[in-house]
Structure 1
Amino acid sequence: MRQATGIVAVETKGQGFTDVTHEITRWAGEAGMREGLLTLFIRHTSASLLIQENADPAVLDDLRDALDRLAPRDGGWRHDAEGPDDMPAHIRAALTQTHLAIPLIGGRLALGIWQDIYVVEHRDRSHRRELALHLLGE
C-alpha cells in the first residue's frame, strides 16, 4: 500500500457551487496509483463538499434554494458575529458534507458520468477554501 497527501486551495466566488473535479482528478492522477480510495476533507465550518449532477445547472440552483429555505438569513439566529450569513452558513455546512470518499479504479476516480465534485460556499462573499486530500492505494 502507498499513500499520498496534499492540500488543494479553491477560490470561491461567494455563495454557490465551485466545481473542483478537474483539480481533484489531476491531483489523483499525479499520485500514480491504479486502485485505492481518495478521501477529501474541507477545512472550514461554513463551506462543504458535495458530489452532484453536472448536466443540468437547474439542479444546483434548486439545491441552493432548498438550503436557503432550510437555513434562512432572517432566522433569528443568536450567532451573528460575522454578519447575517454567518449562522446560516454553519447550518448549511452541517446539513451537507465536510468529507467525501471516492474509489480509484483503474487509475481513475469512480465518479458517474453525471457526477462532479463541488465545494459549496455558504457565505455571501468569496473565500479561499482548503481541501485536505488523502489517497490510499497501489
Structure 2
Amino acid sequence: MTDVFTTRIIDVPTGSEETVVDLTGDCEAFLREVSGGRDGLLNVFTPHATAGLAVIETGSGSDDDLLSALRELLPQDDRWRHRHGHPGHGRDHVLPALVPPHATLPVIGGRLELGTWQSVCLVDTNVDNPNRTVRLSFLGG
C-alpha cells in the first residue's frame, strides 16, 4: 500500500480575548476527506510564536481552568523583556514552551483516536492577533 501525505491550512478566528478553540471537528472533517479509512498520524501545527495546541477536555470548565492556570504561571505584567504589543505581551511568547505549537495524534481506520473526553484545541493568549492559522497534515499507509 502506498503511503499518503496530505496537508491543509485552516483559518481560526480567535478574537480579541484569550481563548481555547476546539479544533476536533475540523480535524475529523479533514480526516474523513483525506484518510481513505487508513491508519496513520495526524499532525496539527500552528505557525505562531504566541499560540499552542493542547489535547484537553472542553465544555466542562477545563478550557477556562487552563487559561486561569496560564494567567497564574505567566502573569500579564511588566516583568517580561519582550515588550512589543499590549502590556505583558512577552508572556505570550513564553506560552509555546508550556503549550507546544504542535500535536501528533493516532488515526485508526481513518478516525482520530482520542480518549472519551479529549479534544484538540488551539490555545491563544495573544489578544493582539485575532486570526490564526493551523496546518493539518495526515500521513497514512
Do they superpose with TM above 0.5? yes
What corresponds to 1:128 in structure 2? 131
Aligned length: 137
For the 8 Å contact 1:11–1:128, the answer to whether it is kept is yes
State the alpha-carbon separation in 1 of the partners of residues 18 and 52 from structure 2: 11
What corresponds to 2:101 in structure 1? 98
Q: Residues 103 and 119 (structure 1 numbering): CA distance in 2 closer, same or farther, change over 3 Å? A: same
State the alpha-carbon separation in 2 of the partners of residues 71 and 130 from structure 1: 23
What corresponds to 1:70 in structure 2? 73
Q: Residues 126 and 44 (structure 1 numbering): CA distance in 2 closer, same or farther, change over 3 Å? A: closer
Normalising by the residue count of structure 1, what TM-score does the alignment of the two structures yield? 0.91
AA of the residue aligned to 2:19: G
Q: Residues 85 and 76 (structure 1 numbering): CA distance in 2 closer, same or farther, change over 3 Å? A: closer
AA of the residue aligned to 1:80: R
What corresponds to 2:44 in structure 1? 40
Q: Structure 1: where are the runs of 5+ without partners?
A: none
For the 8 Å contact 1:47–1:120, the answer to whether it is kept is yes
Give the Å deviation of 1:93: 2.2
Q: Percent identity over the alignment? A: 34
Q: Structure 2: where are the runs of 5+ without partners?
A: none
What corresponds to 2:118 in structure 1? 115
Runs ≥4 in structure 1, deviation > 6 angstroms? Answer: none
What corresponds to 1:5 in structure 2? 7
State the alpha-carbon separation in 1 of the partners of residues 109 and 43 from structure 2: 17
Q: Residues 41 and 112 (structure 1 numbering): CA distance in 2 closer, same or farther, change over 3 Å? A: same
2:55 to 48, 51, 57: 51
For the 8 Å contact 1:19–1:116, the answer to whether it is kept is yes
Normalising by the residue count of structure 2, what TM-score does the alignment of the two structures yield? 0.89
The CA RMSD over aligned residues, in Å, is 1.5
AA of the residue aligned to 2:127: D
Listed one character per residue, the Cα deviations across residues 30-80 of structure 1 (whole Å, up to 9, x for unaligned) are 0033211111110101111111013512x2222111111111011421211
